[in-house]
A and B are shown apart, each in its own frame.
Chain A
């Protein structure tokens, strides 16, 4: 404790130099935090996606429709709890650049367990009751000024039986979606209402959402569903939401090499710069260190005091750098919706800072501890 003032005055011996080192470390760790945060954040997002919700779609192409009739067969697979037919289409509201995604679902008993939506119970009830009901994302309510009870007209490429491409739905509530690829401007409507009203492609779905009764059964159910439709006119491909997220985000994973190289380069440049700087200041302080040793400071004590100076600067700088990273992270992370800064990155960053301080201070500190008093006092 009594050495704290000594360490403190060591740091402020050359304020300009310490401030510059501080800023350099701070900048390096801000970059480290953002890059590593992106990488780890994506990995964590994948882990959070649900493995017990499956998506059954056509085997072949991405948007190839499946007949609704498959629903009963999927339901009869042991381990399947809920099957929800899903149809997707695009619509615009008022002007062509206000694009919306429309998700048509059949809100049967327990349908919510196959989705990542959060909906207030009264909205769920209202949605089931009204055939033309629509649930909207909270952001859309603000963006377009929609409120519950509004009748919203949409224009779509999908034609109604009458030939008209105008659709209208009644807003009965709002919902949020924790899924990665959920999109922000989507509304939920009734599949049965939509299917009956549309002109073409009646009785088809884009995919089925399946919730399994036990997550441990997910793999077996996946295989069984695909096996049932193998060699039929409608071969299916079933995958869990986690597998989907993995393949979606795989591409970002491919950037790992680049991220690693950059983080590596940053740390190497930083270590070299700080080590040089500390060596330089230790040399300049030789007479002072000589005085300390004359007063009875042991080599170890001198070693530790130099190390402590480095630690103080590095830890303070890394903490502010990582704090900065947390602040600017939302800016860099808008590539992937729903990404947040993982705390583990902050912890790893602090550990790296301690290691970096130890490495860059090791040589100067060792030099100082082995200093010969006479030579040091003479400034040689």
Chain B
């Protein structure tokens, strides 16, 4: 009890002195702000990527691909497609047809708005079961493509990022004009994706196999049974995977890079901020030598001194954390970045802010410890004699 009272009294004295030494306190604050701001904004890229990748993922979606190959690059023959339609556990559409989407993906060229930079984006040929497979898909203009025709529908992010995706625009594919007939939003997903009729796309690109097959299950719980049925069927050389696993695999490299960069930069800046905090708090403690010796002389213990300096350090670091997270939020939240060719909207989430605060507290603790120990070891007699 006495310990606590002493600590509180010392803390009050210490904090009232902050106003007299604004620059030392500001050093801690600015250092922590910058470190937390950098960490949070880098992590926001990873969080944004994740939100985007996983935004459209559903637990009842299953992707089929050739065993041992990446879905999207498989060759699935029409013979196999007939077998797939007969598998158990597949949800039925309004007309009783199984909700299976046969896909053929290719990449075609687009130009960025403004800069005119060329990038390749995926064009996915799909069967018309797509709208039932993706109930989140909402048309914001135009209509669904008609099977057998040279028509495309595009997600709104495409239209925002690239030229040539307004309704009625045409683009030449192997000498044939394809018309943009619809624009859609798809839940949280921010990816640019273009859909067309799978048979038209396959004939335009002279293909005769599907690159992957997407299946909607009656419920997510049917997955194991479905996977076993696929594996047991001698006519299929396919593997069933959760959509989330496929997406996870696709973005594994990107996520790993973003994660590494965020913590690499974050830790280095945190180290710098901690060193700065140590130095500033040493300076604060040094300028209070007389005062500290006095309180020791009148009976305060070393423990409360350590505690009060540590708490002071934490209290200086905490506003830095809030400020840093706040800055990251105002500067970067919702900003589009496109690291390594992926288009990502940075997302500063509360959990990231919490991570930032946690880091700041660690910086405060580590930065406060050595000065706190020195404060507790102030030699009473010499310090008082220096008066």
Q: Spell out A's residues near B (CB within 8 Å).
A: 16-17, 20-21, 23-24, 27-28, 30-31, 34-35, 59-64, 96, 157, 231, 233, 235, 237, 247, 250-252, 254-255, 257-258, 261-262, 265-266, 268-270, 272-273, 276-277, 279-280, 284, 332, 335
Contacts and interface: CB of A to CB of B under 8 A. Distances in A.
Contacts of B24: 276, 280
Contact of B119 (A20, A247, A255, A280): A247
A18 to B, nearest CB: 10
A31 B269 CA distance: 8
B117 A247 contact: yes
A28 B268 CA distance: 8
Contact of B275 (A24, A247, A252, A280): A24
B38 A254 contact: no
21 contacts: A24-B275, A24-B279, A27-B268, A27-B271, A27-B272, A34-B264, A60-B108, A63-B107, A64-B205, A231-B175, A250-B341, A251-B340, A251-B342, A266-B34, A268-B34, A270-B272, A272-B31, A273-B31, A276-B27, A277-B280, A284-B286
Given A30-B268, A35-B265, A268-B30, A254 B276 contact: no
Given A16-B282, A265-B37, A273-B276, 7 more contacts: A61-B205, A247-B119, A250-B341, A255-B339, A258-B42, A262-B269, A277-B27
B173 A60 contact: yes
Interface string B320-335: 0000000000010000
Nearest to A31: B268
Nearest to A200: B208
B332 to A, nearest CB: 8
Given A262-B265, A265-B37, A61 B339 contact: no
Nearest to B338: A254
A61 B272 contact: no
Contacts of A266: 34, 38, 269, 272
A266 B30 CA distance: 10
Contact of B337 (A27, A28, A258, A269): A258
Contacts of B341: 250-251
A27 B275 contact: yes
A268 B119 CA distance: 36
Interface of B: 23-24, 26-27, 30-31, 33-35, 37-38, 41-42, 45, 68, 75, 106-109, 117-120, 123, 172-175, 205, 257, 261, 264-265, 268-269, 271-273, 275-276, 278-280, 282-283, 286, 331, 337-342
B339 A272 contact: no
A269 B175 contact: no
Contacts of B205: 61, 64
Contact of A277 (B38, B68, B283, B339): B283
Contacts of B268: 27, 30-31
A280 B272 contact: no
A241 B375 CA distance: 63
* Interface-central residue, B109, B175, B282, B283, by most chain A CB under 10 Å: B283
Contacts of A255: 337, 339
B316 to A, nearest CB: 13
Nearest to B331: A261
Nearest to A243: B118
User: A-side binding surface: helix, strand, loop or mixed?
Assistant: helix
B174 A23 contact: no
B339 A251 contact: yes
A254 B41 CA distance: 15
A269 B35 contact: yes
A59 B108 CA distance: 9
B226 to A, nearest CB: 23
Contacts of A59: 109
Contact of B41 (A23, A231, A261, A280): A261
Nearest to A20: B279
A27 B265 CA distance: 11
Contact of B27 (A61, A233, A235, A273): A273
A270 B271 CA distance: 12
Nearest to B257: A335
A59 B109 CA distance: 8
A211 B200 CA distance: 37
A29 to B, nearest CB: 10
A268 B272 CA distance: 12
A27 B331 CA distance: 25
